[in-house]
């Protein structure tokens, strides 16, 4: 539980009960991400808009096994390994009817928005309609990386890459690296722009030779640019770099407004795509993981216990942790 900016603790709480239409999942593994760190720091926008409030239980990257079902849910779910959608639409509005529940105005977001408790706990309750079954070929580590993978999957879909296209990814954090992995699987020539040599060096361990810092970035025609950083300056840089007639994909979020000049967008005939959430990309990500087309596991720096998590949220890095950007909790 995060109870205030800069303060997180493990609490004993009543076990969840499956409401009608819900299941209870025994969580086996969950990850933390930049959104969780923003909640810990107090910078997350939802805290200031009223969509979230302390105390809150975080955790929206997870997998586990269904242990109970509520009224109206097929009992065949019990015992199945699953992950689930973070975005829980109301199910009754025009957006939900059109399959856009991830932008439903009244949506809850598991562990993020509307007070829906997250999955950094031994158990989590979630609607059965949000579940995605995990095949045996997707182990627990990959299962807990389906949600971030789904975001990257959608970003690469938005880039509309063809084999041989040259794609530049700005920001090799978890999402940026996953974008690079999916773009490579699509047959693109993938380059990454890193903030510094430390992040560049880790990206190279994943088999990406063309990793640059700003001062070394070559002048090349970029068919697509995926902006996956938290820099307020890089969205405009993406538009500056992309080839006329190309595509820019915006999946990174800065803490302050990040502006682009729409004159450049129009005069270069660029297609700009914004991506919110993994929802439409979860099934495709599971398929890619199961087929071995993309393996996200090298991004995991360490797998820790729930008791160790508050220190990690505060910036600690446990002894023996790898260089990857992702931490997992085993429950």
Residues 133 and 8 grouped into a single domain: yes
User: Is the domain of 137 the same as that of 37?
Assistant: yes
Q: Are residues 16 and 113 in the same domain?
A: yes
Q: Mean pLDDT across the stretch 7-36?
A: 97
The answer, yes or no, to whether residue 255 has pLDDT greater than 90, is: no
Nearest to 206 by CA among 270, 144, 297: 297
- Residue 109 and residue 155 in one domain: no
Residue 215 lies in a domain: yes
Q: What is the mean pLDDT of residues 180-187?
A: 98
Tens digit of each residue's pLDDT (9 = 90 or more) over 291-326: 999 999 999 999 999 999 999 999 999 999 999 999
Query: Residue 93: pLDDT above 90?
Result: yes
Same domain flag for 82 and 115: yes
- For residue 240, the tally of other CB atoms under 10 A from its CB is 14
Is 127 in the same domain as 181? no
The predicted model gives 149-153 an average pLDDT of: 98
Same domain for 33 and 89 = yes
- HSE (CB half, 13 Å, CA atoms) of 273? 19
For residue 107, what is the domain's CATH number?
A: 3.90.180.10
Question: Is 94 in the same domain as 180?
Answer: no
pTM: 0.96
The whole-number average pLDDT for the span 71-99 is 97
Q: What is the CATH number of the domain that holds 195?
A: 3.40.50.720
The answer to whether residue 59 sits within a structural domain is yes
Asked if the structure places residue 287 within a domain, the reply is no
In a domain, 288, yes or no: no
What is the pLDDT confidence band of residue 35, given thresholds at 50, 70 and 90? Answer: very high
Looking at the fold, whether 13 and 132 belong to one and the same domain comes out as: yes
Percent of the chain surpassing pLDDT 90: 99
Q: For the beta carbon of residue 156, count every other beta carbon within 10 angstroms.
A: 31
Tell me if 36 is assigned to some domain.
yes
Angle at 236 between CA 47 and CA 285, to 5 degrees: 65
pLDDT above 90: residue 279 = yes
Is 182 part of a structural domain of the chain?
Answer: yes
Number of domains in the chain: 2
Structural domain for 168, as ranges: 150-274
pLDDT at 113 over 90: yes
Does residue 100 sit in the same domain as residue 192? no
Averaged pLDDT for residues 89-101:
96
130 within a domain of the structure (yes/no): yes
Q: In the predicted model, is pLDDT for residue 182 greater than 90?
A: yes
For the chain, the average pLDDT equals 97
Structural domain includes residue 135: yes
Q: Are residues 135 and 187 in the same domain?
A: no
pLDDT for residue 74 is more than 90: yes
pLDDT (tens digit per residue) in 199-244: 999 999 999 999 999 999 999 999 999 999 999 999 999 999 999 9
Identify whether residues 130 and 188 lie together within a single domain: no
Burial 48-79, CB ≥16 within 10 A → b, else e: eeebbeeebbbbbbbbbbbebbbeebeeebee
């Amino acid at each position: 539980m995060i109870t205030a900016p800069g303060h997180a603790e493990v609490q004993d709480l009543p076990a969840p009960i499956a409401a009608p239409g819900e299941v209870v999942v025994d969580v086996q593994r969950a990850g933390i991400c930049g959104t969780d760190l923003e909640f810990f720091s107090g910078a997350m926008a939802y805290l200031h808009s009223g969509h979230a409030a302390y105390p809150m239980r975080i955790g929206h990257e997870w997998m586990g096994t269904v242990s109970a079902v509520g009224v109206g849910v097929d009992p065949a779910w019990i015992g199945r390994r699953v992950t689930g959608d973070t975005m829980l639409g109301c199910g009754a509005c025009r957006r939900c009817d059109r399959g856009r529940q991830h932008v439903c105005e009244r949506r809850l977001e598991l562990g993020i928005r509307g007070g829906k408790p997250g999955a950094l706990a031994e158990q989590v309750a979630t609607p059965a309609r949000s579940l995605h079954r995990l095949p045996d070929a997707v182990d627990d580590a990959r299962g807990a990386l389906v949600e971030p993978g789904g975001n990257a999957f959608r970003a690469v879909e938005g880039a509309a890459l063809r084999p041989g296209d040259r794609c530049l990814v700005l920001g090799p954090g978890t999402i940026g690296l996953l974008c690079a992995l999916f773009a490579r699987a699509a047959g693109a020539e993938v380059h990454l722009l890193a903030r510094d040599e430390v992040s560049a060096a880790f990206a190279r361990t994943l088999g990406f030779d063309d990793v640059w810092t700003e001062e070394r970035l070559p002048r090349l025609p970029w068919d697509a640019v995926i902006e996956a950083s938290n820099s307020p300056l890089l969205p405009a840089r993406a538009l500056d770099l992309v080839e006329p007639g190309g595509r820019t994909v915006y999946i990174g979020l800065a803490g302050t407004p990040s502006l682009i000049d729409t004159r450049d967008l129009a005069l270069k005939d660029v297609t700009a795509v914004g991506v919110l959430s993994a929802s439409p990309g979860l099934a495709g990500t599971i398929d890619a993981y199961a087929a071995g087309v993309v393996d996200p596991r090298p991004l995991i720096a360490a797998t820790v216990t729930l008791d160790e998590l508050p220190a990690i949220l505060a910036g600690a890095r446990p002894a023996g942790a790898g260089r990857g950007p992702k931490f997992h909790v085993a429950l």
